[in-house]
């Protein structure tokens, strides 16, 4: 278990260290989900291209112009204990940028021992949860599992609970205190007696994208605005006004969102607790569904 868990963790490290890559984890989720659903150990690029493209468009980074599902299909081969592809770098015209034409006839499989390991469904599910927790905030998990055909895992919350406990208590207290225990967007601050209801300490640059647990990466939000921030339905401008994705729609949207559009969010009195622009601009660039 540990071995493959560590192998999966390794795919997270990227050269710059600043931006997470979601291509390989999406390919792994797609193919592990196929194995859970009884598929044999053979994946043709042609067959999975469309599904992988859809996943990349919905759950990949938002700044990407070309989705390039051929990249993870070929380059996951650089983790030989996980993935074997019929094409490797040495066979490409340009080793670092495989083309779709080159990938079209490619066939890949999980390395034999890894495939045997995945035959144990609990192992396979454990790795699915690991990938979800390491690469996406919780707000994405339900939709992503549905798109993988793994809705059944939604009732299996054990791993999610463990993940929650890992979040720093200090971060939560600092954020709630400095934001005066109210949502920075709608000012909601409902209590039952003394107990605050439904206000979260949220990360602006997701921890899954190497965001930190420092107050300058934190903001207090109600549940609905927390979800909206994590999913990129809203973001924050350089002037700290609220931005709203043009893709957001539905009833009572004015009341929950448009009423606050282009208006300043609440900021802590102490300016050294204010959001760091690097974290906010990361969110605008890679997470926000800005309507491109």
Residues that bind Zn ion (CB under 5 A): 183, 185-186, 188, 222, 225
CA angle 207, 212, 263 (to 5 degrees): 85
Nearest residue (CB) to Zn ion, 188 versus 237: 188
We find the least distance from the C-beta atom of residue 68 to Zn ion, in angstroms, to be: 36
We find the least distance from the C-beta atom of residue 90 to Zn ion, in angstroms, to be: 53
Nearest residue (CB) to Zn ion, 31 versus 182: 182
Report the alpha-carbon distance of residue 182 to residue 222 in Å, rounded. Answer: 8
Nearest residue (CB) to Zn ion, 17 versus 250: 250
We find the least distance from the C-beta atom of residue 155 to Zn ion, in angstroms, to be: 28
Nearest residue (CB) to Zn ion, 108 versus 244: 244
Nearest residue (CB) to Zn ion, 11 versus 186: 186
Q: Which residues contact 81 (CB under 8 A, 6 or more apart)?
A: 3, 4, 7, 111, 113, 114
Q: Which of 200, 239, 192 is nearest to 218 (CA)?
A: 200
Sheet holding 43-44, edge to edge: 43-44, 107-110, 83-85
We find the least distance from the C-beta atom of residue 253 to Zn ion, in angstroms, to be: 14
We find the least distance from the C-beta atom of residue 178 to Zn ion, in angstroms, to be: 16
DSSP annotation of 237: -
CB atoms within 10 A of CB 17: 8
Nearest residue (CB) to Zn ion, 132 versus 199: 199
DSSP 155-181: G--HHHHHHHHHS-HHHHHHHHHHTTT
Cβ atoms of residues 262 and 241 within 8 Å = yes
We find the least distance from the C-beta atom of residue 228 to Zn ion, in angstroms, to be: 9
We find the least distance from the C-beta atom of residue 237 to Zn ion, in angstroms, to be: 17
Nearest residue (CB) to Zn ion, 81 versus 189: 189
CB atoms within 10 A of CB 159: 15
- Residue 109 in 3-state DSSP? strand
Report the alpha-carbon distance of residue 63 to residue 95 in Å, rounded. Answer: 24
């Amino acid at each position: 278990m540990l071995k493959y868990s560590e192998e999966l963790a390794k795919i997270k490290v990227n050269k710059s260290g600043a931006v997470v890559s979601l291509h390989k984890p999406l390919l792994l989720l797609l193919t592990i989900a196929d194995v859970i659903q009884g598929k044999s150990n053979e994946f043709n690029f042609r067959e999975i291209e469309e599904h992988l493209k859809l996943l990349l468009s919905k759950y990949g980074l938002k700044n990407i112009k070309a989705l390039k599902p051929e990249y993870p299909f070929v380059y996951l081969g650089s983790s030989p204990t996980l993935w074997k592809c019929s094409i490797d770098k040495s066979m490409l015209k340009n080793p670092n940028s495989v083309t779709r034409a080159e990938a079209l006839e490619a066939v890949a499989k999980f390395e034999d021992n890894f495939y045997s390991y995945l035959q144990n469904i609990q192992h396979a599910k454990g790795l699915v949860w690991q990938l979800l927790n390491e690469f996406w905030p919780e707000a994405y998990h339900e939709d992503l599992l549905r798109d993988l055909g793994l809705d059944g895992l939604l009732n299996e919350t054990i791993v999610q609970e463990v993940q929650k406990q890992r979040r720093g208590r200090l971060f939560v207290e600092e954020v709630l205190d400095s934001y005066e225990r109210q949502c920075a967007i709608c000012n909601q601050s409902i209590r039952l007696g003394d107990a605050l209801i439904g206000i979260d300490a949220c990360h602006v640059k997701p921890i899954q994208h190497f965001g930190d647990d420092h107050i300058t990466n934190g903001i207090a939000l109600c549940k609905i605005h927390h979800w909206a921030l994590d999913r990129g339905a809203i973001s924050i401008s350089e002037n700290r006004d609220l931005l709203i994705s043009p893709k957001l729609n539905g009833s009572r949207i004015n009341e929950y969102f448009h009423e606050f559009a282009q208006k300043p969010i609440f900021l802590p009195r102490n300016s050294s607790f204010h959001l760091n622009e690097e974290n906010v601009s990361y969110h605008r660039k890679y997470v926000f569904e800005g309507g491109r």
